[in-house]
Structure 1
Amino acid sequence: MTTRLRVVVDQLAAPVPGAIGRYTLDLTRALIATTPVDCEVAGIVSSSPPADYERIEAELPGLADLYRTSLARRELAAAWQMGLTTSPGGGIIHSTSLFAPLRKHDRASGNQVVVTVHDTMATTHPESLSTAEGAWRRAMLKRAWKHADAVVVSTHALAGRVGDLHDFGDRIRVISSAARSGLTVPADAERRLEALGLPRAYLMTVGSLEPHRGVGDVLAALGRLGMPELPLAVIGPREWGEQQLANVAEESGLRRGMVQSFDTLSDEDLAVVLGGATAFIAPRHEEGDPATLIEAFSLGTPVIHSDIPEYVETAAGAGLAVAVGVAGEGYVNRLAAAISTVVTDKKIAERLSIAGHDRARAFSWRDSAERVWQLHADL
């Protein structure tokens, strides 16, 4: 008898798959590659255009089946939030997010539902989400507390925050992610950098001008007197509310044109920009995505990061940690000192590059997939 693991891959059909879409793609591919004997992997997706089904099946070769629900994504999300539909039936279900059919079920009959929590932003920073999205996430986390057999998180730090919101007991499992597949510097890296308008030496960060994301702190740090004059590449939106990235940069003391922003980049261009950066800066005050550090490490880029628990746990000393403390001038000054040190001290930069590259080896999608299979076996 063949055991079927059904993965909710609906994020691959979302208008903007985003970080969860990348996670879904890489984890599901690894689950297929590590399928134990007498097991198989199938997918679950909401009602979508046929082209989406074809694309998902092409992106996930080896998928045994792709179950299409009768409801479209928006309607299915509402139905699953209220527990009003039995679609897609029972069996062993693994969701790469909170988007899952969470309802009362009998595990003894072979039914399991495992969900993945990527952050607690709906509670810690609800202003970062739409009112509807925040309410849906909080409601689904509560349903997971009632009905999920296990909850997967990427770090022990996130496990602690999720556990503080609801007492999941021993149902929380820490299974790390890894660098996205395809993050390899292509042969035409120099041409791509030139096309993107970047010089040979520059710094890089990810995020928006929301205060807790820390991009404003990086701008303020680079605007300090005596700082090395390196351009900054920012991957993220150019505006937040009424604030414009270019204006905030100038107000911070940076010359016009010193900040280059990109809404998104292809995997190839991201590898070029991230791999070519003098340093990658992860300045968030809280709720940091560990995958950003892992990707920088994998390309040997020196990493400067805030000392929030997720980053400290992920880096394990391979990056240069900067204490956030009470975010403000003190943090900006410490960030400026760290950036100046990495830019001007080649030995420290080289040590961070080597340490990061070594640390990246601790994370792989194959290992993550094998741990997911073991989790379901344990259940």
Structure 2
Amino acid sequence: MRGKPGEARLLDLTRLISRAGRVPTGVDRVELAYLRALVSAKTPAFGLVRTSLGYVLLDEDGMCAMAERVEGRVPWGPADRLSRLSRRLDPAQRRGQSDARRLARARTVRPGLKRMLARHLPQGTRYFNVGHTNLTERMTQAMKQGVNGTINVMVHDTIPLDHPLYQRPESIERFRRMMGRVSRDADLVIYNSRHTRQSAERHLEEIGRVPPGLVAKLGVELSEPRPGDLPAGLPPEGVYFVTVGTIEPRKNHALLLDIWERMVKQTIPQEIPHLVICGQRGWMNEELFFRLDRSALLGQHIHEYGDLSDGAIAALVQGAAGALYPSFAEGFGLPMAEAASMGVPVICADLPVYREVLGDIPVYASLKDSYLWQRRITSLADSQRAGKAGSGHAAKGFEPPTWGGHFNAVLKMA
């Protein structure tokens, strides 16, 4: 059954499936939240995956089965023979695409996309792309020409255009093309904050058309703390701080290394707190990786973990004296909002989006004043030693945005 005209939604799952077997990023979590929401709604839902060999269409059962795999409740299946034709895929990606084919309601090579959608989707189907992957001319034209559908796109941030220093050249151009596609083809743009909307619409105006937009803050969904998932040595003995996020230049981990290296020279060993860095190593950060790998503090006062589960990270954050976020730029800052939701004090850069999402909850510190950061860190460490953890204003009064509120706003318009 294809459903009545206009009564279906199609979610692009290309990004989520391409990251099979990896620790989910913030954008991955958003795509997963949309998957859960759409299959729970009364409106018929479908999923689309672009694979190395073409496109796969999933019905609601297939989408639910994919969610079970992404969430780790069901293991990914074996790689099929077709996946071996794609040498650029890693083993986990091959298994992800193989499962997509096994669970497919329909599939096609790339030139057949429009025909497949027209055959299986009702007219007026609403397409959602929240992962920035597969937003191509082939995709948007197949939706518009094949099913007279609408295009709904989420823009998470405009960091590649606003802060190109922190991006690879190819990613800047790819993002610029994506924004051009949004300008030409989007019927609705979903923004995670007013700050993101202002920045994006400024760029869209320069490109040409500014599509209708909607601000809907991301839901802050706390993972259940699972101390049993922590590897040996975690949490570290004594007071510790955490920072969560990909280790890339704009996250500014270098500031924290500077502070810890200085504390070693100024503080007696037993009073030096630990720093736990949770995040995979990213790009264009070789100098920082060099410092980390050769630091005498690594394994002593600084600890790096790139593959902790959500439950393990939640357990770490829950016991931390504070969460540290010295980013130069952010689109939303889910890890920081999650820490605040758990009542953990937060020290962060004074960014407009942080002010918008968290108001006066965090302790804001200038990135130009590492000594101020050090004083704030030392103060929180002393408070935890004195048994006053979480007693400051940073741990009170935060009512996090919810996914329910997000989808109440989005699905009324899209």
Letter in 1 for 2:217: S
Aligned pairs for 1:1-379 (under 5 A) are: 2=4, 3-15=7-19, 16=22, 18-33=25-40, 35-36=41-42, 39-47=43-51, 56-60=63-67, 70-71=108-109, 88=117, 91-99=125-133, 100=135, 101-103=139-141, 111-126=149-164, 128-167=166-205, 169=210, 171-180=212-221, 183-186=223-226, 189=227, 192=230, 194-196=232-234, 198-207=236-245, 210-225=248-263, 226=266, 228-237=271-280, 241-245=285-289, 247-248=291-292, 257-324=300-367, 330-345=368-383, 349-352=390-393, 354-355=395-396, 358-359=397-398, 361-376=399-414
Stretch of structure 1 that moved more, 95-104 or 132-141:
95-104
CA–CA distance in structure 2, aligned partners of residues 315 and 172 of structure 1: 22
How many Å apart are 1:124 and its aligned residue? 2.9
How many Å apart are 1:333 and its aligned residue? 1.7
Does the 8 A contact of 2:219 with 2:403 survive in 1?
yes
Percent of pairs identical after alignment?
Answer: 19
Does the 8 A contact of 1:103 with 1:143 survive in 2?
no
1:241-273 Cα shifts (integer Å, max 9, x gaps): 44254735977x958621100112111111111
Q: Secondary structure at the match of 1:286?
A: coil
Q: Secondary structure at the match of 2:324?
A: strand
Q: Secondary structure at the match of 1:318?
A: coil
How many Å apart are 1:178 and its aligned residue? 2.2
TM-score, normalising length: structure 2: 0.72
CA–CA distance in structure 1, aligned partners of residues 247 and 37 of structure 2: 35
Does the 8 A contact of 1:27 with 1:365 survive in 2?
no
Letter in 1 for 2:37: A
Q: Secondary structure at the match of 1:142?
A: helix
Letter in 1 for 2:13: V
CA–CA distance in structure 1, aligned partners of residues 373 and 349 of structure 2: 8
Compared with structure 1, are the counterparts of its residues 112 and 232 closer, same or farther at alpha carbon in structure 2 (3 Å cutoff)?
same
How many equivalent residue pairs?
Answer: 348
How many Å apart are 1:283 and its aligned residue? 0.7
Q: CA RMSD in A?
A: 3.7
Structure 2 residue runs without a partner (length 5+): 69-102, 119-123
Q: Which residue number corresponds to residue 76 of structure 2? A: none
How many Å apart are 1:368 and its aligned residue? 1.4
Letter in 1 for 2:372: R
Does the 8 A contact of 1:45 with 1:67 survive in 2?
no
CA–CA distance in structure 1, aligned partners of residues 287 and 216 of structure 2: 37
CA–CA distance in structure 2, aligned partners of residues 305 and 55 of structure 1: 41
Compared with structure 1, are the counterparts of its residues 372 and 87 closer, same or farther at alpha carbon in structure 2 (3 Å cutoff)?
farther
Does the 8 A contact of 2:49 with 2:57 survive in 1?
no
Compared with structure 1, are the counterparts of its residues 257 and 55 closer, same or farther at alpha carbon in structure 2 (3 Å cutoff)?
farther
Compared with structure 1, are the counterparts of its residues 51 and 343 closer, same or farther at alpha carbon in structure 2 (3 Å cutoff)?
farther
CA–CA distance in structure 2, aligned partners of residues 51 and 161 of structure 1: 34
1:87-141 Cα shifts (integer Å, max 9, x gaps): 745621111133333349879x962101111222322344544444432221011
Does the 8 A contact of 1:8 with 1:93 survive in 2?
yes
Stretch of structure 1 that moved more, 294-303 or 87-96:
87-96
CA–CA distance in structure 2, aligned partners of residues 366 and 45 of structure 1: 25
Compared with structure 1, are the counterparts of its residues 12 and 211 closer, same or farther at alpha carbon in structure 2 (3 Å cutoff)?
closer
Does the 8 A contact of 1:323 with 1:331 survive in 2?
yes
Q: Which residue number corresponds to residue 327 of structure 1? A: none
Stretch of structure 1 that moved more, 51-60 or 112-121:
51-60
1:171-228 Cα shifts (integer Å, max 9, x gaps): 22111112346x1113xx2783645462252111134665432211112123335565
Structure 1 residue runs without a partner (length 5+): 325-329
How many Å apart are 1:345 and its aligned residue? 3.4
Q: Secondary structure at the match of 1:176?
A: coil
Letter in 2 for 1:20: V
Letter in 1 for 2:291: N
CA–CA distance in structure 2, aligned partners of residues 87 and 309 of structure 1: 44
CA–CA distance in structure 2, aligned partners of residues 149 and 4 of structure 1: 16
